[in-house]
Structure 1
Amino acid sequence: MWCLLCVVICVPGCISTDGSGPDHLYSALAKTLCGGPVGRHMPTEKKKQQDRYPDKSPNKSLELLRECEEALRTRPARLHRAFSYQNLSGDLHQKTIRVMQWNILAQALGEGLDGFVRCPLEALNWSERKYLILEEILTYQPDILCLQEVDHYFDTFQPILARLGYQSTFCPKPCSPCLHLANNNGPDGCALFFRRERFELMGFTHLQLAATHLHTNQVAIVCTLRCRETRQMLCVAVTHLKARSGWEMLRSAQGLDLLSKLKTIVQETRRIGVDEKVSRMGVPLLVCGDFNAEPSEDVYRQFATSSLGLDSAYKQLSCDGETEPPYTTWKIRPSGESCNTLDYIWYSRQHLSVDAVLQFPTAEQIGPDRLPSYNYPSDHLSLVCDFSFCNSPE
């Protein structure tokens, strides 16, 4: 049974001093415990909106971003990406919610299993790659951050992002492939972070996805949040479905299982509610993940036609508003080059509007050796969207 709980997730981090942990990264955070967002890139029309909500304490994020840049000074310039603004006529009194979805590439898999034949092992060195990952997060400053293939949650991401104002939870895969590799840092899994300043946690659950009533190795996290400003409820899920071709039916079954559980959670949240407004307006839903499925697969169609009323945010980049981007991951393995669209941010079109979408770099920007590389830490590109509530309870 899903219940609304007032839960504080605060798992102590394991800080190492051998150069593999986040000890150096803490130097920019040593004097303070709470953080605020760095200013985001936006046109003049949207700058007015940001000015209504000035950053309370951006220094720690800025200092850590500069520390990342210093650690990466010998690496080539990072990929330049711009936002495509979809809604410039929205309510400037309402602050948008920035959501980032990203498969960050588990360190153990990148070094020991994935076989990126055009990526030098030196480019995957964790002592620098962690700075590339953090730099990407700090650059876009999401309010909600959904990650997959996280195998450095306790010693890096949780403690560092907690000091920047994020609350989080982590759900490892029961039989993570990382555990079978040398020098692993434990199991990989999904992690969900959100800004404590923006949201209050009302409840959460960790799911082990099932197929034909049998548990699989894939997981999901579902959190119910309440916006501190508007008091609007928001349900957020992050997942990572089964990889590789030949497993389409399993992904389809996992998707149906997740959709069924999301329906139950949303209905229960709406039924219990915290006030009459939640019951009347419904609960918006965001589902982020690496689905390992092209738009032609059944699991994509299941989400697109679900009774939950979901739509894919990144279709906003297409001319007709109906086409997904040509790729969200691009890599070269011994079996050849693969360029696929596998990652999505699904949203409740009845309750949320897409205000901005981060564009993908071109093939020329990515380069002939594809991903990962010296200037990008993962084989998957991050997805970043700005959302706003269509209707405010106020």
Structure 2
Amino acid sequence: MGCCLRAAPSSSFLLTCVKGPANSKSSSYSRRWYNPVRRKSSLLIPDTDRQWVTADNNRTHLLSEERFTVVSYNILGDRNAFKHWDLYRNVPSIYLKWDYRKRVICEELIGLNPDIICLQEVDKYFDVLNIMEKAGYLGSYKRRTGDYADGCAMFWKADKFQLIEGESIEFKQYGLRDNVAQVSVFEMRKAKSRRILVGNIHVLYNPRRGDVKLGQIRFLLSRASILSKKWGNTPVVLAGDYNSTPQSAIYTFFSSSELNIMLHDRGDLSGQKNCRPTQALGIRREQGSLFVWMDRFLHSSWTNEEIKSATGGTDSRVIRNPLKLRSSYAMVKGSAETRSSNGEPLATSYHSKFLGTVDYLWFSDGIVPTKVMDTLPINVLKKIGGLPCQKFGSDHLPLVSEFAFIQGSKDENETSNFLIS
């Protein structure tokens, strides 16, 4: 038989007493404090489990057994998390502290068990390296130039891949700001005929400087193409935070391999202006004004200096991609709750001023994605209220894709034929 003692109506707690069994020789009571407020909040926690989505293709017999998994993840630099505190007003302070985020990020990475990891916005490299080395990874790092503390880092499984060539790119040397990139060629230890070139970049954020963004991407593509040819047309995977949306001209450049810059507003090449949470969540529409239209007009024209930044010269107005690239997520069909009409995730990054996709895993001929880790539905992100959170240590979500080599692939159209079938 039990009894229940209720606190005064003004109290938010209940004290429950449970008496022992009737046949017990001695009566015993156990007390448990019950907080209905805590229970209510726990019921509101959304499901943040991410699911693998497998590619739908009936020609899997053409794929090699050698496969590898790549992660691209902007982990939010420790300095940036507090320098731009206004972006994380909805985030409890504990989830912004580096000690907490470091543990969550590294546990997630190790749990994903990828073969190659590309990180952006890393300003505590040795903190991450110390943990990843114990998990069997080797690493390399390139810090941004200037006064910036963060950079790009790459990790790979020491027992599966060996680094045979690597280089870092400082865009400052070419008049393209302080951003950096990494390009590495890996060889599989158990199948030395299998090589892969991996690029890692964090493109300039500034939405108005589309010319610089294009210049940085153009240079990365050029170096990746040159190194790929040097190593026998090695397949390419380009990871990173490109600070450009799937609806942007920059995305079109990747997917179509060519872009006439004069057909686009250089101040809106990245599409970032249309990804404020209020717009994406449909809370309200931002009203246009004379000042907004004047700003667009002033930034739509191109100077010779900007043309040179974008194309590499003042005589050309068309920029070309030397690599034939596709996005791994766009090639693996996902749910309408997580994907846009072109197949890309609806959101890979979320804070108080941005909700959208800027992260990608691009791949070239010779390999195909066999599965990807799907992102989170918009309604789940809305319930979370912003990133980082308890489960995710950054304001970005990691992109994860498994790739397979196409057996005997020497024809540059082989990947296209495989994906179309």
TM-score between the two structures when normalised by the length of structure 1: 0.69
Query: Could you tell me which amino acid in structure 1 is paired with residue 355 of structure 2?
Result: C
Q: SS at 2:239's partner residue?
A: strand
* Pairwise CA distance, 1:294: 1.0
Query: Which among 318, 322, 325 is matched to residue 310 of structure 1?
Result: 325
Show structure 2 runs of 5+ residues with no match. Answer: 1-44, 258-320, 335-339, 410-421
Matched, 1:325 2:345: yes
* Pairwise CA distance, 1:254: 1.1
Query: Could you tell me which amino acid in structure 2 is paired with residue 391 of structure 1?
Result: Q
Task: Please tell me whether the aligned partners of residues 371 and 403 of structure 2 are also in contact (alpha carbons under 8 angstroms).
Answer: yes
Q: SS at 1:159's partner residue?
A: helix
Query: Could you tell me which amino acid in structure 2 is paired with residue 149 of structure 1?
Result: E
Correspondence for 1:387: 403
Correspondence for 2:354: 338
Query: Which among 194, 214, 233 is matched to residue 252 of structure 1?
Result: 214
Correspondence for 2:177: 216
Correspondence for 2:223: 261
Render the CA deviation track for 1:93-138: whole Å, top value 9, x for unaligned.
Answer: 7142111100000011112225211112222122222111012102
Correspondence for 2:368: 353
Q: SS at 2:360's partner residue?
A: strand
Change (3 A) 1:192 1:297: same
Correspondence for 2:264: none
Render the CA deviation track for 1:307-348: whole Å, top value 9, x for unaligned.
Answer: 31111111034479943221111111xxxx421110000001
Counterparts of 2:253 and 2:222, CA distance in 1: 11
Task: Please tell me whether the aligned partners of residues 163 and 185 of structure 2 are also in contact (alpha carbons under 8 angstroms).
Answer: yes
Counterparts of 1:77 and 1:137, CA distance in 2: 21
* Pairwise CA distance, 1:210: 5.5
Change (3 A) 1:301 1:369: same
Render the CA deviation track for 1:47-72: whole Å, top value 9, x for unaligned.
Answer: xxxxxxxxxxxxxxxxxxxxxxxxxx
Correspondence for 1:137: 109
Show structure 1 runs of 5+ residues with no match. Answer: 1-75, 178-186, 271-281
Q: How does 1:1-394 map to 2 (within 5 A)?
A: 79-86=48-55, 90-91=60-61, 94-115=65-86, 116-154=88-126, 156-177=127-148, 187-209=149-171, 213-231=174-192, 232-270=194-232, 282-304=233-255, 305=257, 306-318=321-333, 322-332=342-352, 337-348=353-364, 350-366=365-381, 367-391=383-407
Which stretch shows the higher mean deviation, 191-200 or 105-114?
105-114
Change (3 A) 1:310 1:114: farther
Render the CA deviation track for 1:199-256: whole Å, top value 9, x for unaligned.
Answer: 1111100111269x31421111111111122221111110000013212221011111
Task: Please tell me whether the aligned partners of residues 94 and 100 of structure 2 are also in contact (alpha carbons under 8 angstroms).
Answer: no
Counterparts of 1:388 and 1:93, CA distance in 2: 6
Change (3 A) 1:392 1:225: farther
Correspondence for 1:276: none
TM-score between the two structures when normalised by the length of structure 2: 0.65
Q: SS at 2:181's partner residue?
A: strand
Q: SS at 2:370's partner residue?
A: strand
Counterparts of 1:283 and 1:87, CA distance in 2: 25
Render the CA deviation track for 1:271-312: whole Å, top value 9, x for unaligned.
Answer: xxxxxxxxxxx2100100000011233332332213311111
Task: Please tell me whether the aligned partners of residues 220 and 237 of structure 1 are also in contact (alpha carbons under 8 angstroms).
Answer: yes
* Pairwise CA distance, 1:374: 2.6
Change (3 A) 1:321 1:85: farther
* Pairwise CA distance, 1:373: 1.8
- RMSD across aligned positions (CA): 2.4
Counterparts of 1:359 and 1:171, CA distance in 2: 29
